[in-house]
Amino acid sequence: MRKFRFLVVLTLFCVYLLPVLSVFAQENTAPQNKSQEYTEKDGIPVLTQHLPDYENVGNRATYILNPEDLRNALGTRPVLEAIDFTGGTEAVTAEYPQGKLLIVEYTTPQFSVEADTRIKQKLAETAQNPPIFYRRIGNYNAFVFDGNDEAGANALLDQIKYEKEVRWLGEDPFALHRAERDFVVQTADLFMATLSIIFGGIGFSIVTGLIVGIVFFYVREQKRSQMEAFSDAGGMTRLNLDGFTPEILPDRLLDK
């Protein structure tokens, strides 16, 4: 009877408890952070494909989900302490001729702005040699390490495009700044368009006037060259004081 009870208990343990323990073990051993988005075709994190010139650098890019991987990829740098991977933050780095590019993506604009403040504070506190080039692009916080060419680093950062819609949980703190910038841009465009129309009209009038004047001058000159003699007396008989009036033929004189 005891053996039967033992077998029943053992069977229940195997049926109910072992699956629970296996799931618990998988949860403990699985990584806590996972990529937010994967491509459906090949399962590559979408962030990796946002690297500039991905077709050539994608095979040597390093995808990062925790501070340890970040230090292994880029070494120990004070500015990296400002990057927080909690809440689903992910990053990717790749080598370029301009330097080592690092793109860190935060899940919300608030997290990205907070990280931007910490990163700028770290960069201001510590001297960087070689310099570190940094820029916030949407929810991306992008760095170029080990590069001395500022123009090349900025050109590399310009190639990064944040293709997601940024939505704030509360009031957008940059709404007023964005409205002011749009107003200035539209006003400048209107001013430049007005100046272009005014100066274009003046230039067109000048050119048209010159063309009409030149044509009129040549037409008058052609007509004048066909005249036998010039008379300012309206065709009436005048004294030939200047020697330009033709002599009156005798056969045109009246008989006495």
pLDDT digit string, tens, across residues 110-163: 889 999 999 999 888 887 778 899 999 988 999 999 888 889 999 999 998 887
Q: Is the pTM of this model over 0.85?
A: no
Please check whether residue 133 is in contact with residue 143, taking contact to mean a CB–CB distance below 8 angstroms.
yes
- Quick one: pLDDT at residue 127? 76
Q: Work out whether the CA dihedral 63, 67, 68, 74 comes out positive or negative.
A: positive
Burial of 135 (0-12, 13-18, 19+ CB in 10 A): middle
pLDDT for 163-197, tens place per residue? 765 566 677 777 788 788 889 999 999 999 999 99
Q: In angstroms, rounded to a whole number, what is the distance separating the alpha carbons of residues 243 and 229?
A: 11
